[in-house]
Amino acid sequence: MGPAHTENEVEPEIDHGTLRRFLRARSLNVEKALKSLREHLKWMQVFKPNGFIDESNMKSELAKKKIWLSYWGAFGYPIGVLLAQKHRTSDRDLDEFICKRYTIHHAFMWSGIQD
């Protein structure tokens, strides 16, 4: 596989499932898929700049026992377990927990596994 980055960017690890997903989304048009993939990678750098969401970003949620870190995944990422029954939109701190980032990151991980 060729690099999916521009000259000054670090080359990320991209699996075959991710490549297939982008190709399917662009009707197997390689140029359009590559453009979308590059945009996605830039976007992911904003949403998870350290490669994963750090425990320090979840202090409030950890203290409320809504989430806890448990185990490490096959690729070395910490796995967080979130109890949906304890999730209340009125008492969360979005700036700290970055709920959207957490959800989006894991949605992409699962979609890669399913391919």
- 5-35 tens-digit pLDDT: 444 444 567 889 889 999 999 999 999 999 9
Average pLDDT over residues 86-115: 54
Residues 6+ apart with CB under 8 A from 35: none
Domain range for 41: 16-47
Q: How far apart are CA 37 and CA 39, in angstroms?
A: 5
- Look up residue 98 and give its two tokens: 């970055």
Q: Is residue 7 included in any domain, yes or no? A: no
Give the phi and the psi of residue 78 in degrees, each rounded to 5.
-70, 145
Average pLDDT over residues 78-87: 72
What length is written for the chain? 115
Q: Is the domain of 59 the same as that of 110? A: yes
> How many domains would you assign to the chain?
2
Q: Is the domain of 61 the same as that of 25? A: no
pTM exceeds 0.85, yes or no: no
Q: Is the domain of 26 the same as that of 75? A: no
Question: Crossing angle of helices 16-25/99-114, nearest 10°?
Answer: 100
Average pLDDT over residues 41-45: 81
* 69 and 78 Cβ atoms separated by less than 8 Å: yes
Q: Is residue 8 included in any domain, yes or no? A: no
* 90 and 33 Cβ atoms separated by less than 8 Å: no
Q: Is the domain of 103 the same as that of 82? A: yes
Q: Is the domain of 78 the same as that of 99? A: yes
Q: Is residue 102 included in any domain, yes or no? A: yes
